[in-house]
Amino acid sequence: MKEIHTEIEIAAPAERVWQILTDFARYPAWNPLICRVRGEAEAGARLEVHIRPAGGRAVTFWPTVVVAEPGRELRWRGRLFLPGLFDGEHVFTIEPLGARWVRFVQREVFTGLLVPLVARSLDTGTRRGFEAMNRALREQAER
């Protein structure tokens, strides 16, 4: 198992951050990590997600939304190829710190046989991608 955890404080209400996070159609305009998402931010929905990690190659996967709590949490689970090979649960959490201030947490728990082989790239490229997305989300929300 491997977990990547990043967070950033954003001077915007939780509802604004949620609106940007779940407006998948606008991702290509601002998101440096997740370049495209097709589907709906609703529990049980299947998504098509295209990511472009820093220094890595683009990957497409089809996770299922497991939590979509407006203004609070978006969580999806997916895998590459076969179950147990390289699985991930991606979590976006919005923690209100005040009426117009939040902590945005982005994390992913990776499990599967291939995780030890790619752990170093997860610590570097994937973490950088999460951090870049967090900063870009903050820029969008604070406008």
Model confidence pLDDT, tens digit, residues 68-106: 999 999 999 988 777 777 788 999 999 999 999 999 999
- Could you tell me the CATH number of the domain that includes residue 107? 3.30.530.20
Query: Which pair of tokens denotes residue 120?
Result: 């170093």
CA–CA distance from 105 to each of 37, 96, 102, 142 (Å)? 19, 11, 10, 16
For the chain, the first-to-last Cα distance in angstroms comes to 37
Neighbours of 12 (CB within 10 A): 21
pTM: 0.90
**DSSP-assigned states of every residue in 92-125:** EEEEEEETTEEEEEEEEEEESTTHHHHHHHIIII
pLDDT in tens, 19-40: 999 999 999 999 999 999 999 9
How many domains, in total, are found in the chain? Answer: 1
Range of the domain at 78: 2-142
